[in-house]
Amino acid sequence: MLTRRNEKRTRAKPEGAERITPPHERAAQAVRTLTRLTAVLGALAIGAVVFALATFASAQARLSSVDAETAPVCTAVRAIKAGTVIEANMLTLQDVPASLAAEGAIGTREEAVGKLAVEPIPANGQITAGALASSEPAASLAGALDAGSRAISVAVDAETGLAGLIRHGDRVDVLSEGRAIVENAKVIAVDSSLSETLEEYATVTVQVSPEDAIAIQAAQELAPVRLSMRSAVDALTEEASGETTITEAGNDSAEASVLATTRNDRGLTTTAESGKGVL
């Protein structure tokens, strides 16, 4: 009797031992896990699709809104060279998205016709206010001057003043004794007129740098000064390059020094070619 009880205790399962899961239960558990994982992945996929569709719709709405906002812009029918006076047949109007309109773009032909192109304009290029010379006359001589520049008048007659053909905005060279005192000077007044076209005049006022004003004054004290007209295209090309060459006759005597002065955007440099008179 005692021996049988000991055998039962020996055969009994130890306490705390792991229970072995039957195969059919493990299979059922795997199916349940896979089902839950599939459901989660499906929900994520649906959410991603909904988000993508909402983003696309929003982008389309914004694009449609931008396309709907257009502005009339004046464009060139063909390429326009610098120095060309703008005519109506050179221009056309186009409606472009407002976001693509250039800064300062002109919206009507009337704003451009009659003005001078100060830079080349390509075919189909937008016409901007900065590409055209202003045609509005200044209210005063001081208002007609650029910052840092000076106005000086040159006495002329029918011969030295180009027979009454000088107009406001023209570019001229100031000559004395066969030398160019100042080149590419802008005419800002004829006699006392800042805008009126005169066929007879006794003085022409030009815009120059302070150094050039002194050179012209010195030249006028030595000998008569005459003006030479420049081509509108040549004048604009030289102005855009930012360089002007001036030859100045000195004021000590008729054989005084000649200064070659080159101005550029970085300042003023001078080189004495001969003589000893320097302003």
Note the helical H segments in the chain: 2-11, 23-68, 141-144, 210-222, 232-241
Rg of the chain on CA atoms, in Å: 43
The DSSP H or E segment spanning 119 is none
C-alpha to C-alpha distance for 213 and 49, rounded to whole angstroms: 75
Q: Tell me the sheet residues that pair with 152.
A: 206
Task: Tell which residue, 247, 137, 121, has the closest CA to residue 184.
Answer: 247
Ranges assigned E (strand) in 10-119: 70-76, 91-97, 116-117
Other C-beta atoms lying within 10 Å of the C-beta of residue 268: 12
Kindly state the tokens that stand for 47.
């959410």
C-alpha to C-alpha distance for 112 and 106, rounded to whole angstroms: 7
Task: Tell which residue, 189, 220, 186, has the closest CA to residue 203.
Answer: 189
Name the one residue in this structure whose structure tokens are 């703008």.
Answer: 86
Non-local CB neighbours of 223 within 8 Å, separated by 6+ positions: 176, 177, 249
C-alpha to C-alpha distance for 100 and 65, rounded to whole angstroms: 14
Q: What is the CATH number of domain 70-133?
A: 3.90.1210.10
Average pLDDT per 10 consecutive residues for the chain, totaling 279 residues: 52 55 74 81 84 79 65 93 86 90 90 85 91 67 83 88 86 91 91 83 92 93 90 65 45 35 34 34
pLDDT (0 to 100) of residue 271:
32
What are the sequence ranges of the domains in the chain? 70-133, 141-274
Q: CA geometry: angle at 15 spanning 13 and 19, to 5°?
A: 70
C-alpha to C-alpha distance for 279 and 259, rounded to whole angstroms: 9
C-alpha to C-alpha distance for 112 and 107, rounded to whole angstroms: 9
pLDDT (0 to 100) of residue 208:
93
pLDDT (0 to 100) of residue 206:
93
Name the one residue in this structure whose structure tokens are 């809104």.
Answer: 65
pLDDT (0 to 100) of residue 268:
35
To 10 degrees, the CA torsion angle through 115, 188, 198, 85? -20
pLDDT (0 to 100) of residue 6:
52
